């Protein structure tokens, strides 16, 4: 059995300059359930080390955007900005070591370059792509099935999408303009939703999705920290076969 933990960056609505994000990103961390305890132990050890070095409590939620600009998490204010960004660098370097046998699926949508078509919003669009890639990954395993565990989000939308894809999922052929029905067969149950505050795994994918955002949309004032480069630290466990069309050859699904 494989588990995929997912979190997002950006909002799902149409882009309106100055009011919402130009992007919508989903990052999914795939791991075999037999490795779950090992990964949890490593995460706990890493968090204890951060606590010792930066006084970041093991009970405090890791929230990437808050580490860069504190808004709600008051305890972050006791850590300097350079140290908070350093925590993100250390986390990005730790991920492929902690999750050495895991894989990461990334979907990064630029709203200006895409049309929603039959999708309700960019969340449904991105989730459709993630579900397809996870199901394809599972089909290449030894009869293993998968379960999706996500941060609190639009549960009815994701549940209905996954249920629909189990009997109707038209995919365009690579050889002509025809479509075939590529139903999802390897993901069981409806997605399980977790509060990220209570899951180190969800917090990890929060970091992943935000670092991908910083790579795609670097901010000049943060370049001195090389924040836009941290995502590349996870390259060794990216599921690059998710797509062959990524301009960076990192398997990032963009449409």
- Residue 202 belongs to some domain of the structure: yes
pLDDT greater at residue 16 or residue 255: 255
pLDDT at 153: 82
Range of the domain at 47: 2-242
30: pLDDT strictly greater than 80: yes
| Whole-number Å distance between alpha carbons of 81 and 247 | 32
Q: Is the pLDDT of residue 175 over 90?
A: no
Neighbours of 246 (CB within 10 A): 16
Does residue 249 sit within a domain?
Answer: no
Residue 179, pLDDT score: 79
Residue 180 lies in a domain: yes
46-50, 109-113, 178-182, 191-195: least confidently modelled range: 178-182
The span from the CA of 237 to the CA of 24, in Å, is 22
Q: Is residue 247 assigned to a domain?
A: no
Burial class (CB in 10 A: 0-12, 13-18, 19+), 130: buried
Nearest CA-CA partner of 230 in 70, 105, 94: 94
Pick from 155, 115, 103, 127: nearest CA to 253: 127
The contacts of residue 61 (CB under 8 Å, 6+ apart) are 73, 196, 197, 203
Q: Is residue 248 domain-resident?
A: no
Domain count for the chain, please give it.
1
CATH of the domain at 208: 3.30.420
252, part of any domain: no
- Give domain status of residue 20, yes or no: yes
Q: Please state the pTM of the whole predicted model.
A: 0.94
Q: What mean pLDDT comes out for the span 180-203?
A: 94
Q: What is the mean predicted confidence (pLDDT) over 78-97?
A: 97
Average pLDDT, the chain: 94
Q: What pLDDT, on the 0 to 100 scale, is given for residue 178?
A: 77
Pairing of strands 170-172, 23-32: unpaired
> pLDDT digit string (tens) for 131-143?
999 999 999 998 8
Express as a percent the part of the chain with pLDDT over 70. 99
- Residue 253 neighbours by CB under 8 Å, 6+ apart: 105, 106, 107, 108, 129, 130, 133, 242, 243, 246
**In this predicted model, what pLDDT tens digit does every residue of 205-227 receive, in sequence order?**
999 999 999 999 998 889 899 99
* Tokens found for residue 226: 């090389």
Q: What is the mean pLDDT of residues 1-7?
A: 97
Residue with tokens 């991920």: 95
Cα-based torsion angle of the residue sequence 211, 215, 219, 224 in order, rounded to the nearest 10 degrees = 80
Tell me if 129 is assigned to some domain.
Answer: yes
């Amino acid at each position: 059995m494989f588990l995929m933990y997912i979190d997002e960056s950006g909002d799902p609505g149409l882009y309106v300059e100055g009011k919402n994000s130009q992007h919508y990103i989903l990052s999914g961390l795939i791991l075999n359930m037999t490795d779950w305890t090992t990964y949890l132990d490593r995460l706990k050890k890493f968090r204890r080390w951060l606590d010792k070095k930066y006084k970041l409590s093991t009970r405090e939620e890791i929230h990437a955007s808050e580490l860069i600009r504190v808004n709600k998490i008051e305890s972050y204010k006791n850590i300097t900005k350079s140290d908070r960004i350093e925590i993100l660098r250390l986390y990005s370097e730790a991920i492929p070591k902690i999750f050495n046998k895991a894989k990461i699926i990334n979907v990064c949508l630029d709203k200006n370059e895409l049309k929603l078509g039959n999708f309700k919003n960019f969340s449904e669009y991105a989730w459709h792509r993630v579900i397809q890639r996870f199901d394809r990954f599972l089909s290449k395993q030894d009869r293993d099935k998968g379960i999706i565990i996500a941060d609190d989000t639009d549960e009815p939308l994701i549940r209905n999408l996954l249920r629909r894809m189990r009997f109707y999922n038209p995919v365009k052929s690579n050889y002509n303009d025809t479509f075939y029905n590529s139903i999802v067969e390897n993901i069981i149950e409806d997605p399980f939703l977790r509060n990220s505050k209570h899951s180190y795994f969800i917090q990890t994918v929060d970091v992943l999705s935000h670092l991908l955002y910083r790579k795609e949309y670097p901010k000049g004032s943060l370049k001195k920290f090389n924040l836009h480069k941290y995502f590349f630290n996870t390259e060794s466990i990216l599921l690059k076969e998710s797509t062959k069309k990524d301009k960076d050859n990192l398997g990032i699904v963009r449409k």
